[in-house]
């Protein structure tokens, strides 16, 4: 399993035109092809640097990795604070939205998914 965690993300909510920001964790289990570690944050930025919603961002990252390098599986978790929730509307200062996309062995194998979740929670 290859994991790049705590990737900083910044994006702009397409519904409210307000920023959201946080961390992204990406893992994949390679088959034959591996990619350079820096390619994962670059891919995250490609999708984050546009009008976006967090749910779609999470899915786009996972599906793109699955399509192009055809690993056994991909897991993506995003934890983000949304200014639309912090400064307007419900005004909840400490709320964090968490989204995940699990494909392949991350969806089908409890042990693989549990290992990913455990490793993401561990402090570096």
Q: Is 24 a catalytic residue?
A: no
Q: Is 25 a catalytic residue?
A: no
**Beta-bridge partner residues of 80:** 22, 97
In 49-92, which ranges are continuous DSSP H helix?
A: 54-69, 83-86
Instruction: Kindly name the residue from 52, 54, 72, 91 that is annotated as catalytic.
Output: 54
Instruction: Kindly name the residue from 63, 84, 109, 115 that is annotated as catalytic.
Output: 84
**Percent of the chain scored above 70 by pLDDT?**
98
- The class level of CATH for 2-121 reads alpha beta
Q: What is the mean pLDDT of residues 29-54?
A: 95
Q: Is 15 a catalytic residue?
A: yes
3-state SS assignment for residue 22: strand
How many C-beta atoms surround the C-beta of residue 124 within 10 A? Answer: 4
Q: Is 52 a catalytic residue?
A: no
In the chain, which ranges are continuous DSSP H helix?
A: 39-48, 54-69, 83-86, 105-108, 110-121
Q: Is 54 a catalytic residue?
A: yes
pLDDT, one tens digit per residue, over 56-88 is: 999 999 999 999 999 999 999 999 999 888 887
């Amino acid at each position: 399993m290859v994991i790049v965690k705590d990737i900083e993300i910044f994006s702009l909510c397409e519904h409210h035109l307000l920023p959201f920001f946080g961390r992204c964790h990406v893992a994949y289990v390679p088959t034959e092809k591996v990619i350079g570690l820096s390619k994962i944050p670059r891919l995250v930025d490609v999708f984050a640097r546009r009008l976006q919603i967090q749910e779609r961002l999470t899915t786009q990252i996972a599906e793109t990795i699955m399509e192009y390098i055809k690993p056994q599986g991909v897991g993506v978790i995003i934890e983000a604070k949304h200014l639309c929730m912090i400064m307007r509307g419900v005004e909840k200062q400490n709320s964090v939205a968490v989204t995940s996309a699990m494909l392949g062995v991350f969806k089908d194998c409890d042990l693989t998914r549990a290992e990913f979740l455990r490793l993401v929670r561990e402090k570096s």
